[in-house]
A and B are shown apart, each in its own frame.
With several copies, the nearest count.
Chain A
């Protein structure tokens, strides 16, 4: 099965003109565009059933609660979770990691312990540990990369010694690398560590099954998977979430509040303090419906094909003038292509491409330790999603030439 060819039509933004060109959006790793069905789901919520949830006995409050909780159930199913109680809503993947670090780590970690992350992590999976480590004094250990940008597992078992948590990305937002999460998780579990997975780039693009991933905790973010801003997810095995103390305090997350203390609510509400992002949860539910209707297998296949085409086109046309980071086999990577073209700085390249309506990202992609490993300050990154096609890749490839001309003076 392939994806329908008219997918762009379902995304209102993709018909926008930029500087006289129809937009070519190649920055989905930063944030994806939204199908009309997702935008409409939120509109409908605001226009017909908007009300605060969980505490209202009247009709629209009951409907809002029902829609929100149904979305939770569908999101749980989407990632192969046993129970909607394992799906905690946060504001983004970053908050999900802070929740893990503060709530799980604040309880479990102290001097002498270690947390293992990798050299390709996003700041969201680095800084929360650094903040906590400054308080608790545990060690942060880094799993290194091979020259091709894969995780180097040759010393994994040594590195796991004394580690209580392995927190790794399933897919790099810079290199595109897909990591062997299940294998690492097996070895981590054998060493007595828990495994948290950054699914921010993975869940939107590949079929996800938390059981197969062998993960204990999984973080992802709505806006990269056709959903709205302002919504993230923390999935966790029920017994692990149960063992963690609350993170933020306030309404909804309590069963009782007395002057001398409070009794936390049950999962998942224990971790959802205050009025939840109701419209955003409903929007993310619609996004998951949209993705499921296309089929995650088909999306993955489409992206492999497109990435393969892009890697070949770029190499064929520019050869040695171009450095492409990360693994060369499209089956080992997602649709993220970080490149360096001649001596043109990424910021300049992205500026030039913008004049043709082509959106790529330039910068450190919130992965400064990785930039240091790669020996660069920034990369230019094009990233693909279900709505991109070969014409988009052609536009990218052609426009590099323009940049080359401008900089050949």
Chain B
């Protein structure tokens, strides 16, 4: 079935059906960021608390396809207690896996990424998405939403 089994791995369906870190935190002290995929109407809303430059808590609400919701759930698990710096790196590594090569990702950065040797872990399960280009936006929706939220902290 040309990659469909690779797309819909068990662990993805598990995250889809049993999303981790569902819910909403009070803002403030938490920060909020909302993302939207106009293609399919997928929505993700994140609330998160920052402490000492790290993500302390992160909660997710939203609705959408298995890929967008599983990706959000996996992301929540992956970024918990990570420094903002590390989260940014992880997001770059994730996007690289999704075949998204950002212009801002200069050679120097790439070295840093490997130096930090952050592993994608469970997130690797989403690799099958690459074969379905229209779904890449589903997989990256939550990450982009989080990055926007982190950018807004500085703004």
A/B contact in complex, CB under 8 angstroms: yes
Interface residues of A in 208-239 (CB under 8 A from B): none
Do B38 and A255 touch (CB < 8 A)? yes
In the complex, identify which listed stretch (A39-47, A54-62, A91-99) lies at the interface while the others stay far away. Answer: A54-62
Instruction: Provide the residues of chain A in CB contact with B66, threshold 8 Å.
Output: 344-345, 348
Instruction: Provide the residues of chain B in CB contact with A347, threshold 8 Å.
Output: 40, 42, 64-65, 67, 138
Instruction: Give CA–CA (A122, B38) in the complex, Å.
Output: 16
Do A407 and B134 touch (CB < 8 A)? no
Do B65 and A355 touch (CB < 8 A)? no
When the two chains form the complex, which single residue of B4, B17, B40, B135 contacts A406, counting CB atoms closer than 8 Å? B4
Instruction: Provide the residues of chain A in CB contact with B16, threshold 8 Å.
Output: 345
Interface residues of A in 252-270 (CB under 8 A from B): 255-256, 265, 269
Is B115 among interface residues, defined by CB-CB distance under 8 A? no
Instruction: Provide the residues of chain A in CB contact with B109, threshold 8 Å.
Output: none
Interface residues of B in 1-54 (CB under 8 A from A): 1-2, 4-5, 7-8, 10, 13, 16-17, 36, 38-43
Instruction: Provide the residues of chain B in CB contact with A406, threshold 8 Å.
Output: 1, 4-5, 8
Do A355 and B13 touch (CB < 8 A)? no
Query: Given A347-B64, A351-B132, A409-B10, A362 and B40 touching (CB < 8 A)?
Result: yes
Instruction: Provide the residues of chain B in CB contact with A269, threshold 8 Å.
Output: 38
When the two chains form the complex, which single residue of A55, A265, A355, A364 contacts B2, counting CB atoms closer than 8 Å? A355
Do A351 and B2 touch (CB < 8 A)? no
Number of chain A residues close to chain B: CB under 8 A: 29
Instruction: Give CA–CA (A56, B147) in the complex, Å.
Output: 27
Is A363 among interface residues, defined by CB-CB distance under 8 A? yes
Instruction: Provide the residues of chain B in CB contact with A409, threshold 8 Å.
Output: 8, 10, 13
Instruction: Provide the residues of chain A in CB contact with B65, threshold 8 Å.
Output: 345-348
Closest-CB distance, A52 to chain B (whole angstroms): 12
Instruction: Provide the residues of chain B in CB contact with A274, threshold 8 Å.
Output: none
Top 5 A-B pairs, shortest CB-CB distance: A347-B65, A345-B65, A377-B63, A347-B40, A409-B10
**What would 23 A/B residue contacts be, using CB atoms closer than 8 Å?**
A55-B39, A55-B40, A57-B39, A57-B40, A57-B134, A62-B133, A62-B134, A265-B38, A345-B66, A346-B40, A346-B65, A347-B64, A347-B65, A348-B8, A348-B66, A352-B4, A355-B2, A377-B43, A378-B40, A378-B41, A406-B4, A407-B13, A409-B10
